[in-house]
Amino acid sequence: MLSKRIIPCLDIKDGRTVKGINFVNLRDAGDPVELGQRYSEAGADELVFLDITATHENRKTLAALARKVAKNLSIPFTIGGGISSVADAGVLLEAGADKISVNSAAVRRPELLEDLVKAFGSQFVVLAIDARQVGNDWVVHLNGGRIATEYLLFDWAKESEARGVGEILFTSMNHDGAKTGFACKALAQLADSVSIPIIASGGAGTMGHFLEVFTEGKADAGLAASIFHFGEIGIGELKHYLHQHGVVVRV
C-alpha cells in the first residue's frame, strides 16, 4: 500500500507566503523558501507552491522561486500559477521543479493538458481544480476562485484523466481556510470516479480531519496551509497520530 502524503501548500503573492479564508482576506505567513526548508526538515512528503495571483494579473510564475527552492530542499515540489504553455512549464522544470500545476489555462484550452503530458510525461502534470458547491453541483472556478465556469468537478476530472494528467489537486472553495474539515463526501466520489491520485485541499483544522480525509475521503494526499504556517499542528506529530490510527505514512 502506498503511503499517504502530507503536503504543506505555500500560496505566493508578491514573493511572500500568504493565507486567507475562502480565497480572500490574505495575511502574510513568511518567506516561502524558509518555510519550505522548515517543512522539509520536519518530514513533509512534498510541497506545493502556488502563485495565487499570477493568472489574474497576467504574470508568469517566477522561475527564480523554483531555483531557490530546488537549491534548499531535498523533497519533491510542485509549482504553479500562470502556466499556459509548454514553454512556461519547461522553464520551471529546468529551474528544478518536480511537477507543475495547471488550472485556469487548462480549462480555457483543455488541449494544453495533452501538450504538457506529451512533452514531459503524466507524472509531471498536476491538474488543480478549484470548485465551489452550488446546490448539488460542484462548479469549477478560475483565476483564484474569481470566475465561475460551466465545468463541473467530476466531469472535468474525468476529462483531465482521459487527457493524461497524473494527479488532481482538488480545493473545496467552501472549505478553504475554514478549518472545519475537508470535503470528504465530494473527495470520495472524486476518488471513485478516476484512477489517478487525488490531493485533498481546503478545510484542514485538526489531525482528525486528516484521518477522515484518508479514510472517508479516500484521498491519496492531504494538503494544508495555515495550520502548518502558524504552528497549529506539527508535521511530525500529525504523522505519528495517523500512524497510531492505522494510516500508512512515511515516518
- Return the active site residues: 11, 130
Q: Is 242 in a helix, a strand, or coil?
A: helix
Position 226: which residue type?
A: S
**Cβ–Cβ under 8 Å, residues 205 and 180:** yes
Cell of 51: 502563485
**Cβ–Cβ under 8 Å, residues 197 and 191:** no
Q: Which residues contact 102 (CB under 8 A, 6 or more apart)?
A: 80, 83, 84, 89, 112, 113, 116, 125, 126, 127, 128
Q: How many CA atoms lie within 13 A of 192 on its CB side?
A: 8
Q: For residue 22, which of 175, 134, 143, 142 has the smallest C-alpha distance?
A: 175
Cell of 132: 465551489
**Cβ–Cβ under 8 Å, residues 180 and 152:** no
- As a whole number of angstroms, the distance between CA 7 and CA 203 comes to 14
- As a whole number of angstroms, the distance between CA 139 and CA 236 comes to 35
Helix, strand, coil percent values for the chain (each to nearest 5): 35, 30, 35
